Amino acid sequence: MCGRTCLTLDPEQVICACKYPRKTIKTDPDSEDKDTIKDEEGPSMETPEWRAEFNLGRNYQASYNIAPTDITPVIVSAGHFSVVEDQKCDRVIMPMMWGMIPFWHKGDYRRHGLTTNNCRLEHLMDSKLYRGPFKRGQRCVVICEGFYEWQTAGPAKKPSERDAYLVFVPQEGDAKIYEQPKDVKLLRMAGLFDVWADESGDKMYSYSIITFQSSKIMAWMHYRMPAILETEQQMNDWLDFKRVSDAEALATLRPATKLQWHRVSKLVNNSRNKSEECNKPIELVAKPAKPAMNKTMMAWLNVRKKREDQTKAEHSDPSDDEEQEKEAGCKRRNSPGGSSFDSPAKKYKFEDFKSQKAVEVKFVEK
């Protein structure tokens, strides 16, 4: 599955990172109805257009910790907005909300009550929510520097105890994804988008990420993984809804084979944490210092300790035994017809007073 992503680039950087080879459309000699799309030879690159919709006043904000309902940029075919033939393969970058809004929902778009950040490939054609957008060719590519995944495979653990990882595509040379390399390679995930309108007619674009069963490369971490597009040919086939049929588009979705990951801090567990330490390897994240104890609490503990020490000292004072022994001796001398040297049976030993004292103390404590 995919429940959290990372994209720290501003719009200009996103556009630069999404450049793609210029395409040529040629007629397939073996077919009268089909055209083939090929990359032009040479370094010529196309720059996608950034298309900002109103989206109920919400805008994309770069973040180290993106969660569902956030606005992020996705790539779609320009054919959704133009009927010009030579723009069939052009790409447009549009900010959309993560988590498709059901077309039948009325009221606050955030309160439809469904979890729609992921779309299971196995149930796509049976889904009331996703079948329509897919049949209309509303295919998109969700871009990010990487997605976060929590290790759920293996022995069961509480959610708060699971290890979190950032999964990304290999970068050029020794470039580190968490250092924002200049020529960053973005991770591209297949998705579906839809358009929802409120009672006033204002539109909100939203999307879901397609997932399927994990391959061997990811199965140790989680049993689900997003459909990642690794090649430009996969990108073309998924986006070109006018030339590539539904069945052909689905055939392009296969498990990725070139992925990397590193373990990250559990800071990412809380979607409110937007620190740059979220996407760094855990060994580079400074351990949080232990919070200092409240001064009032410290003063109270000190007073309590002094009282306990004083009580112990009073209970263990040997002078009490001596005073009780003297008092008992005086009583024997002053008793009628007796003296301090009466029969030994009537004498009191030091141990007896001590034991009597212990009994008296216990009685008082109860």
- Please tell me whether residues 158 and 192 are part of one structural domain: yes
- Please tell me whether residues 195 and 301 are part of one structural domain: no
Tokens 């030579």 appear where? 86
Confidence of residue 88 (pLDDT cuts 50, 70, 90): very low
What is the number of domains present in the chain?
2
Task: Find the range with the poorest average confidence among 163-177, 180-194, 293-307.
Answer: 293-307
- Please tell me whether residues 231 and 355 are part of one structural domain: no
Averaged pLDDT score across all residues of the chain? 83
- Please tell me whether residues 133 and 261 are part of one structural domain: yes
- Of 178 and 27, the one with more pLDDT: 178
**Does the structure show a pLDDT above 50 at 349?**
no
Q: Using CA atoms in the order 143, 149, 153, 159, what is the torsion angle rounded to 10 degrees?
A: -150
For 17, the enclosing helix (H) or strand (E) is helix 11-17
Catalytic entry in 6, 149, 277, 314: 149
- Please tell me whether residues 263 and 323 are part of one structural domain: no
- Please tell me whether residues 163 and 115 are part of one structural domain: yes
Task: Find the range with the poorest average confidence among 247-251, 274-278, 332-336.
Answer: 332-336
| Percent of the chain residues past pLDDT 70, beyond the cut | 74
**Domain end among 284, 317, 343:** 284
Instruction: Quote the pLDDT of residue 22.
Output: 80
Phi, psi of 24, deg, nearest 5: -125, 145
Task: Find the range with the poorest average confidence among 48-57, 176-185, 317-326.
Answer: 317-326
Query: pTM for the complete prediction?
Result: 0.74
How, if at all, do strands 49-50 and 91-98 pair? parallel
Confidence of residue 312 (pLDDT cuts 50, 70, 90): low
Classify residue 101: in a domain, yes or no.
Answer: yes
DSSP, collapsed to helix, strand or coil, labels residue 31 as coil
What average pLDDT does this structure show over 73-99? 84
- Please tell me whether residues 49 and 88 are part of one structural domain: yes
| Percent of the chain residues past pLDDT 90, beyond the cut | 64
- Please tell me whether residues 231 and 98 are part of one structural domain: yes
Q: How far apart are CA 213 and CA 351, in angstroms?
A: 80
What domain range includes position 101? 4-284
Is 2 catalytic? The answer is: yes
What average pLDDT does this structure show over 227-237? 97
Mapping DSSP onto H, E and C, the string for 16-59 reads HHCCEECEEEEECCCCCCCEEEEECCCCCEECCEECCCCHHHCC
Confidence of residue 38 (pLDDT cuts 50, 70, 90): low
Classify residue 156: in a domain, yes or no.
Answer: yes
- Please tell me whether residues 311 and 279 are part of one structural domain: no
CB of 261 closer than 8 Å to CB of 168: yes
Is 149 catalytic? The answer is: yes
Q: Per-residue pLDDT tens for 255-271?
A: 999 999 999 999 999 99
Classify residue 290: in a domain, yes or no.
Answer: no
What average pLDDT does this structure show over 283-290? 73
- Please tell me whether residues 327 and 203 are part of one structural domain: no
DSSP, collapsed to helix, strand or coil, labels residue 232 as helix
For 192, the enclosing helix (H) or strand (E) is strand 187-197
- Please tell me whether residues 136 and 186 are part of one structural domain: yes
**Residue 228: DSSP 8-state:** B
Return the number of other C-beta atoms located less than 10 Å from residue 208's C-beta. Answer: 27
Q: Per-residue pLDDT tens for 137-167?
A: 999 999 999 999 999 987 878 888 899 999 9
